[in-house]
Each structure stands twice: as C-alpha cells, then as structure tokens.
Chain A
Amino acid sequence: MKEPTELKKVSEYVDQCMKCGFCTYFCPVYQEERVETSVARGKNYLVKLALKGEQEFTEEMGKIIGKCLLCKRCVVNCPAKAQIDRVVVAARAQMVNEKGLGFWKNLVFRRIMSDRKRFARYLKLAKTFQWLLPTTEGSIRHLPDFLKALGAGRNIPELAKTFLRDMVKPVYKVEGGKEPLMRVGFFMGCATDFIYPEIGLKLIDFLVKRNVEVVVPKDQNCCGAAIYFSGDFETGRLLADMNIEAFKDVDIIVTGCATCSSTLKDYAKYLPDNEEQKKRYTDFAKKVKDSLEFLVDVLKVDPKDLKVKKEFEGKTVTWHDPCHLIRYQDIKDQPRNILKNLDGIKYVEMPNADLCCGMGGSFSVYHYDLTKKIAKKKMEGIKATSADIVVTACPGCMINLIDSILQNRMPQRVYHIFELFE
C-alpha cells in the first residue's frame, strides 16, 4: 500500500462529514440503488478508513468511488458543507497512483486526448466509418448493440462533417475596423469542436456583433474534465499547462461549455502539487468566464436587446441547469433572467431543473443503465412543462438530453441557449 498522498490533501473534507445521511435524499445514484456505497456518506467513510491505512484500493473500492456523477447535489445540500466531490476525485487519483489507469483509459487519456491533433485524427478516422451505424433521426446515430462499451441502444450524435478547429479563423476583429469593447480568447471544448461546431461559430459571431474581438488560439487542448475527474492528475496537469500557455495573451477566456468553464476554473482546486502550480492555476481561473456569466455579468446585455430567431418565435422554452454551471459555478439566475425577459418565447421553469441529466462524463460509459434511470426523472420534469424546446449551456448535457428524449419518444428539441438568439 502506497502513502495516501492524494487523500491527505483532502483530509479536512473527509473529516467534515458527520454521517447525518441527508445526502441520500439528494444523490441521484442513491435514489436509484438505495445502497449506502452509492452515496457520499458511504464513499467518504471508506476513504476515511483508507486515510488511516485500514482500507486498500481494491477492485471493489474502485467500483464504489467510480460510481459517482460528481453532480455535487450532496455537497450543496450538506449541512456541514462537506466537499465530498473533492474526496471522491482525490480517491480516484490515489487509485491511479496505486493501480495505474488501466489499458483503455491509459490509451485514451494519455495517448489520444492529451494530444489535440492526434485526437482530431482519430476522430476523423471514426467519422469516415460512422456511416456504418444506423441512423435514427436527423444527425443522431443509433449505436448498435455490439458497442456495449458505450451502452446498448444509445443514441450518440454524429461527428461534425468539418470540425470547428478546421473552420475558425485565429482572430475575429469587430466589424468596420472599430475599436473593440474588449478582447477575449475563445475556448472551444471537445464536444463543441467535434460534434457541435455550429455552437462555437454562433458564439463567436454573437460576441463579434457586440464589439468583442475574439481570438481562437490553435494550441488550445481538451479542458481535462474527463481526465482529471477520473483521477489522472498527471495528464490533467499536462493539459492545464498547455491551455494556460495557449491563452497567455488574453485576459478573458470565454467558453460555451459549462463543464469546460468549471474545469478550467478548478485546476487550482484539484491539480496543484506545489505552491507555484497553485498560484498559476489560480491566476488562470480568474480569466475564465462561462458564456452566460460573460453575457450577463460582464457584457451586461439587456435581455430585451436580444432577438429570438424566427424559428423559435412563439415556442415554449424550458431550462436545464448543468451541474457544472449551477453547483460548480453558482450560475443560476443568469440564464433565467434572460429567458424570462426574452421577447417572443414563453419560459417555463421545469421541476427539478437542477437535477443531473445522468451523463456525468465517463460515468455514462460505465453505468449507462443508471444514466438512463436518472435521465428518466429529468424527462418527467421536461414533460411536466409541455415545452417545445429545452435549452442548456453544456454540450455534454445536450448529448444525454437528446438521447433520453429519443429513448422516451418525446417531441422536444434541445439547443444551446445561444442558438436561440438571432
């Protein structure tokens, strides 16, 4: 057994838990399984034993700490404010230190995802063959049953014909040679780059029209969410350093992906091994703005000045809170202020708007059965609104919402909130 170095960094959070069990009510996984190892209290107790050297990182332990969406519902509702999400991530990092990453994660995280160009090449290769998969609706592809690893019967989105990276210009000046209001760096994120490039183009266009100069550094990489939340801090730091370097010339970084914005902001929370790194990550975090935060808190755009696209006029719209927006960044009112005051649409708040969609990044790859059950509850909330459209601000959530809506034979369309605007 190795020294629990990663666990020691979070020992103060481990001690915060007073075992009241309130987390059971808020944990989407516990609500399905109703077993103590599914919930924060159980996981934290096992980590507490590991810290004392009484619990080894067995295969079972790996399964237990793996089965967490990191949705943070337990954390924000905890009377003691125990940060069990950080305990879970640290435990995964400790597991990686002791047992390694395993063949597949090692291949994907360290050989492919950490090298953006290689990642794009692999995906292009995949794209060439994706016509082999049967099409269900529009650009959604139905994954055949033999691809068990990604969950049987799952609708996965088609990869974009052209990736965003191959379409964007390095700099977008404001029109008419005017002096820009400010200059920002645009962070794409993997899902926007490879699946939803239109969201990226829309956001850039939106910003430029509001006199913001946008630069798109070509050396930017994956934010690292799937990687460091799986406990691979080493690759996480590699990505952090590449992104910090890529954006060193801008003071503000904007991204349309809630997971990316929170991940970039939280390098300082999870990754530092020393004070120098901590300072660098903290300074970097100050530059990062989620697109909604930028729109409302920085640009201070009046919703009345936003025009809804013709195709959305008269529609009923509801909002899904991404975990990484509402709980990781406390961005809750901004989208609602916009949607409530936007002319041309009717906004309806859905019950359980803040409930996780069930995706949880790679969680859904390993526990697709649970993802489906959790998503079903989300779908009940959406159904109750009778909305035509679900908007959100996280491409990860979008993938899972679209899949669940199709699985449940519902009529709603899913968009990124910025896609509503003219």
Chain B
Amino acid sequence: MVSSAVVEELKRIVGEGEVLTNREALRAYSYDGTTNWIREPDVVVFPKSSEQISQILKLANKDKIPVTPRGGGTNVSGGSVPWLGGIVLCTTKMNNILKIDKENLTCTVECGVVLQDLNNALAKEGLFFPPDPQSFLGATIGGIIAENAGGPACVKYGVTKQYVLGLEVVLPTGEIVNLGGRTLKNVAGYDLIHLFISSEGTLGVISKAELKLNPLPPAKKTIVAVYDEVAKAGEAVYRVLENGIIPGKIELLDNWVINRIEEMMPMGLPKDAQAMLLFECDGIEEAVQKETEKVVEISKKYGAKDVRVAKDLDEANRYWTARRAGFAAVFGKAKTVLSEDVTVPRGKIPDLIKRSQEIAKKYGLELVVLGHAGDGNLHPSFLTDVNNKEHYEKAVKAMEEIIYAATELGGVLSGEHGIGLEKQKFFSRVTDPTVIDLMKKIKSLLDPNNIMNPGKIWE
C-alpha cells in the first residue's frame, strides 16, 4: 500500500492533476496488451521531466515502494502490469521530440514519444526509425527500448538495439545518468546502454534516447509467393537470403489466415494455398528492380506455385493491410488466442513449422502460423477459450511443447515480446542458472531495494 503521505508527496513533485488514485483510473492501469495479467496499482503518476522521475524514484526507494514504468501499455508480456501494486510511472506525457539531426542521421527524443508520431515527424525530413514493432501506433520509444522490440523490417534492418546510440536513464536510487553518446562508434568503457535495452523496466527508467536513423528508401516493391506446403514457404525464406538478396521484409501467412483475410476483405488471395510469403524490397529504384526479379526467380525455383509482383502502390498496400489484419483475423475468431513469439535460426523455420503442426495434431487443436519469417520469428497461435478449461489447458500444454521444440532447434523463447510475466515459467527452464544468477546480481547492484518493476522476468 502507498500511504496518503506518499501520495501527497507525489502531488508535490508532479502537480495535483498528474497523480491518479481513484479506483476507475487504477483499474485502467491494471492491464497491458495481454489477456489475463491484471493487477491494480495504488497510484498512477505522470512525470513531465527526468528530474521529476528522479524525485519519484528517490521517494519510492526510501519507502521501498514498487514502481512499474509504463508507456503506451501495448506490450504483450505482462511487463507493464504493476504486479506488486505500488506506483505506475506513466511516461505518456513526456512525448517531445527534442531534436532531429539530419546531418548525423540521429534524433533525440523523450521516452514517451509514440513510434508512429516519431516516424511522421521523421518522414518530413526524409528519414525513418527502422525497427517496426507492430504496436507502433501506441508503443512509446521508452517501452520499445526496454523491450528491445522488433518487427517485420528486422530481417534487413535489425532490432531496436542496433539503433540506440545513447540513453538518459534514471536509476532506481534517483541518479540521472547518461550512457553511450551520439556517435556510431563508442568503446569508452563497458557498453552499459545494452544493459538497459531489453531490461523490461527492471533496472531504471529510460527517460531520453539518442537514436540512429536511416534515410527513407525511395523505392519499394512487394512480391507475393504462394505455396502448397507451409514448410516449403519456410525454406524459400532462407533460399532467397542465401542467394544474396536481403529484402526489407519477409512475412509468412498460412492457409487459415489467408482465408480469414479473404472473408474480411476479399482481395483475390488464393484460398487453397497452404502458405503465402510476402516480400518487400526497398532501396534505390534500380536495385529494387533487380532484387525483385531475383526474388521472383528464386521463389519459383524453390517450389512457389504462383508468384506475383504488386503492380502499384495501391496493390502493395492491400497486401500489407492484409498482413496487418492477420492478427485481427486470429483474434476475431476465437474467445482466447494463445500466441507465441518463438524465434529460431532462419534455416530451422521449416522444422519449427513441421514440429508445430505435429504438436497441434497430437492435441487436436487448430494451429495458425503467421510471423516474421525473414528473421526466424514466428507467432504460432492456438484458438481456444479461457472459459473452456479442458480445451484451454490442452492449448497451454501444446504451446509449451512448441516452445521447447523451438529451443531444441537452437532458438529462443521470445524474439521481440520479452519475458515479463507471460514467459516467466519457461525462462528459468531454458536459461543457464549461472546466467540467471548473474542477471540477478546486476539487478541488485543497480536496484538494491528491488523497487523497479518487481515480480518480472524470473519467478
């Protein structure tokens, strides 16, 4: 519980209107993008500066009050759910873009800037921030860094950690530190920024970030390849890459998703296809043209039934809208969807798909596969109903098997969502105990009173 004296102190720090304690507001900060992880905080506070964050953390540290940092609350790991109550430190009002530096292709932003807002501002300067978690409409930069988020564009551009040059972090003890810098190269001492990237809010509050940007590619082309076996589509992914082409995106949709999309918005996708790969080549026009030809050629050579190149932007947009609708297709059809985030080395995609299908068959479940095939990150999903205990438990068991299959294939249990609460029970089972111990030591060094987002990552 947070005492009324602490609430008064918080009001003094951030102002009366920036502290919420009414029951309804607390409930509205009890969840994130997951279905079942729900816990109310005792108070929600909206700082407007790093100094205010520092004062809040000093106060919390003194009284050992749990603090859960939260941006847009779009994460899907339970990571921003205040599992032990206490303070939700919500950064949505720290949303200023402080500087866009065209000369150095960097920008400086406050942690609460929403990715889409940033990219809108960058587009005016001919720039973009490449990592593209599909929650870009609500996800904040602070959260994106804390989760080391990624998306379809990572096959070519990499994930968030490749685009963070510097961070301003408020430590749990209240000190404001600047890590990294503004340069591409930087080997002055330990590379501490990477400690905070993917720290899931357990080591401090990221208050500002210096980001690396890319120029917007002037040309783009979309290619659709259709397969009569999901595993064949999986193979095509690494065949394209090993032949020297790195498309901007490679996304996979299976038969189930294709058919739901056709029901929702008929666009002439082949309903009998078992899988579809969606490629996007981007860059300088001539290069895009050549790469597109090559993708078509390789796809055909390795078993595509049909390959089409979108003739214009309009057609391309329709395919990508369909891809984005993929999740809606899944979520719209079932009471509960169990969706995973496993990632394997790209060459193992066909094996992972085959194993997942076998597991689904064994349990008599409907499996849906879609995901960022280009980087080995798949989202196998089961349609179930949390209220149907028997079915739900079966789905949970089957998903566990898929997770272990992925790790056996040399993969990891989360590619882009993080551990949070959702994957805790697997984390300790697939991670070396010495490594976990090391992580815990780092945690206690930075956060001696365990106030930062307690109850996450490890059980």
The one of A15, A19, A81 in contact with B34, judged by C-beta atoms closer than 8 angstroms, is: A19
Residues from chain A with a CB closer than 8 A to the CB of B112 are 34
Asked whether B138 is an interface residue with its Cβ less than 8 Å from the other chain, the reply is yes
Residues from chain A with a CB closer than 8 A to the CB of B31 are 19, 45
B73 contacts A21, C-beta separation under 8 Å: yes
Residues from chain A with a CB closer than 8 A to the CB of B25 are 35-37, 60
Known contacts A34-B92, A37-B25, A79-B324; A22/B138 CB under 8 A: yes
Known contacts A34-B95, A79-B324, A79-B325; A64/B138 CB under 8 A: no
Asked whether A371 is an interface residue with its Cβ less than 8 Å from the other chain, the reply is no
The one of B27, B93, B332 in contact with A45, judged by C-beta atoms closer than 8 angstroms, is: B27
Asked whether A1 is an interface residue with its Cβ less than 8 Å from the other chain, the reply is no
Contact with B along A6-43 (1 / 0, CB 8 A): 00000000011011111111100000001111000010
Residues from chain A with a CB closer than 8 A to the CB of B28 are 35-37, 42, 45-46
Residue in A closest to B336 when the chains form the complex, CB atoms = A18
A81 contacts B328, C-beta separation under 8 Å: yes
Asked whether A182 is an interface residue with its Cβ less than 8 Å from the other chain, the reply is no
Contact with A along B134-145 (1 / 0, CB 8 A): 010110000000
Residues from chain B with a CB closer than 8 A to the CB of A26 are 137
CA A18 to CA B337, docked complex, whole Å: 10
B332 contacts A80, C-beta separation under 8 Å: yes
Asked whether A61 is an interface residue with its Cβ less than 8 Å from the other chain, the reply is yes
Residues from chain B with a CB closer than 8 A to the CB of A23 are 138
Task: Give the distance to chain B from A80, nearest Cβ to Cβ, in Å.
Answer: 5
Asked whether A408 is an interface residue with its Cβ less than 8 Å from the other chain, the reply is no
Task: Give the distance to chain A from B420, nearest Cβ to Cβ, in Å.
Answer: 14
Task: Give the distance to chain A from B141, nearest Cβ to Cβ, in Å.
Answer: 14
A36 contacts B33, C-beta separation under 8 Å: no
Task: Give the distance to chain A from B336, nearest Cβ to Cβ, in Å.
Answer: 10
Asked whether A386 is an interface residue with its Cβ less than 8 Å from the other chain, the reply is no
Residues from chain B with a CB closer than 8 A to the CB of A35 are 20, 25, 28, 46, 92
Asked whether B29 is an interface residue with its Cβ less than 8 Å from the other chain, the reply is yes
Task: Give the distance to chain A from B192, nearest Cβ to Cβ, in Å.
Answer: 30
Task: Give the distance to chain A from B291, nearest Cβ to Cβ, in Å.
Answer: 30
Task: Give the distance to chain B from A74, nearest Cβ to Cβ, in Å.
Answer: 11
Asked whether B160 is an interface residue with its Cβ less than 8 Å from the other chain, the reply is no
CA A20 to CA B114, docked complex, whole Å: 14
The one of A21, A36, A79 in contact with B328, judged by C-beta atoms closer than 8 angstroms, is: A79
B33 contacts A20, C-beta separation under 8 Å: yes
Task: Give the distance to chain A from B140, nearest Cβ to Cβ, in Å.
Answer: 10
CA A44 to CA B245, docked complex, whole Å: 45
Task: Give the distance to chain B from A76, nearest Cβ to Cβ, in Å.
Answer: 13
Asked whether B35 is an interface residue with its Cβ less than 8 Å from the other chain, the reply is yes
Contact with A along B106-127 (1 / 0, CB 8 A): 0000001010100000000000
B73 contacts A36, C-beta separation under 8 Å: yes
Residue in B closest to A82 when the chains form the complex, CB atoms = B332
CA A37 to CA B74, docked complex, whole Å: 15
Known contacts A24-B138, A25-B114, A79-B328; A19/B33 CB under 8 A: yes
CA A55 to CA B24, docked complex, whole Å: 8
Known contacts A19-B33, A79-B327; A24/B24 CB under 8 A: no
In residues 1-44 of chain B, which contact A (Cβ within 8 Å)?
Answer: 20, 22-25, 27-29, 31-35
Residue in A closest to B332 when the chains form the complex, CB atoms = A80
CA A24 to CA B20, docked complex, whole Å: 19
Residues from chain A with a CB closer than 8 A to the CB of B93 are 34
A61 contacts B74, C-beta separation under 8 Å: no
A25 contacts B22, C-beta separation under 8 Å: no
Asked whether B374 is an interface residue with its Cβ less than 8 Å from the other chain, the reply is no
Residues from chain B with a CB closer than 8 A to the CB of A58 are 23-24
Residue in B closest to A63 when the chains form the complex, CB atoms = B24
Task: Give the distance to chain A from B179, nearest Cβ to Cβ, in Å.
Answer: 27
Known contacts A46-B24, A46-B27, A49-B27; A19/B332 CB under 8 A: no
Residues from chain A with a CB closer than 8 A to the CB of B166 are none
CA A80 to CA B332, docked complex, whole Å: 6
Residues from chain A with a CB closer than 8 A to the CB of B138 are 20-25
Asked whether B411 is an interface residue with its Cβ less than 8 Å from the other chain, the reply is no
The one of B24, B92, B116, B332 in contact with A37, judged by C-beta atoms closer than 8 angstroms, is: B24
Residues from chain A with a CB closer than 8 A to the CB of B116 are 25
CA A170 to CA B116, docked complex, whole Å: 54
CA A60 to CA B92, docked complex, whole Å: 22
CA A204 to CA B46, docked complex, whole Å: 54
Contact with A along B47-90 (1 / 0, CB 8 A): 00000000000000000000000001110000000000000000
B92 contacts A20, C-beta separation under 8 Å: no
The one of A21, A64, A80 in contact with B24, judged by C-beta atoms closer than 8 angstroms, is: A64
CA A20 to CA B325, docked complex, whole Å: 13
Residues from chain A with a CB closer than 8 A to the CB of B458 are none
Known contacts A34-B95, A79-B325; A22/B137 CB under 8 A: yes
CA A79 to CA B22, docked complex, whole Å: 30
B137 contacts A19, C-beta separation under 8 Å: no
B73 contacts A18, C-beta separation under 8 Å: no
CA A80 to CA B33, docked complex, whole Å: 13
Known contacts A24-B72, A60-B22, A61-B24; A19/B35 CB under 8 A: yes
Task: Give the distance to chain A from B193, nearest Cβ to Cβ, in Å.
Answer: 26
Contact with B along A46-61 (1 / 0, CB 8 A): 1001000001001011
CA A26 to CA B35, docked complex, whole Å: 22
Residue in B closest to A49 when the chains form the complex, CB atoms = B27
A21 contacts B332, C-beta separation under 8 Å: no
B24 contacts A19, C-beta separation under 8 Å: no
Known contacts A46-B28, A55-B27, A81-B332; A20/B22 CB under 8 A: no
Residue in B closest to A56 when the chains form the complex, CB atoms = B23
Task: Give the distance to chain A from B340, nearest Cβ to Cβ, in Å.
Answer: 16
A-B contact pairs, 18 of them (CB 8 A): A15-B335, A16-B332, A20-B74, A24-B72, A24-B138, A25-B116, A34-B92, A35-B20, A35-B46, A36-B29, A36-B73, A37-B28, A46-B24, A46-B27, A58-B23, A60-B25, A61-B24, A81-B332
Q: Which B residues fall within an 8 A CB radius of A?
A: 20, 22-25, 27-29, 31-35, 46, 72-74, 92-93, 95, 112, 114, 116, 135, 137-138, 324-325, 327-328, 331-332, 335, 337
In the A-B complex, the 4 residue pairs with the closest CB atoms: A79-B328, A25-B137, A42-B28, A21-B138
